[in-house]
Structure 1
Amino acid sequence: MTENAYFAAFFFPAAAAVVIFFWKYLSAVMQAKVRLAQDEAYRDMAAKAVAAQAETAQALASVSAALADIQSRVASLEKILKEVE
């Protein structure tokens, strides 16, 4: 065999191996970036859920206070109506 044939016989498989490992590395990097973006999205969604839950708890407390006030007024009205009878 000629010198070029030996060179080709060793160069092309070695080049193919390098290309395969490069694509594997590139794939791992891209997957890591996607996971990081996905984790950030989950963190943002969790933060928004916590904020919404706190807001809902505050609204529920306000409604509970208003309901307690209404119940006391109704009890007062019932008492007045019983006295009138």
Structure 2
Amino acid sequence: MTAEDKPFLQVVRGDPSPEEVAALVAVLTARARAAAAARDGAGEARPSRWADRTRLVRATVSGGLAPRGPGAWRASGLPR
């Protein structure tokens, strides 16, 4: 028996319906395609620096701490 003659999947316990086998094959195929895309780098492209909305988030003051104390709400909205 050659590798081409062997079945791709083999049920060793239970009696799955054709729909259950089809669902399993669909999941395994999706996982294999996602893994191949990740290896090839064909996944989603990173957004450009212009389209990246994280640049709109204001940097925090003094090493990661937001302004504190009286008037902090006012200082948090003022430009640097």
Report the TM-score, using the length of structure 2 for normalisation: 0.32
Structure with bigger helix share is 1
Report the TM-score, using the length of structure 1 for normalisation: 0.30
Mark the structure with the bigger radius of gyration: 1
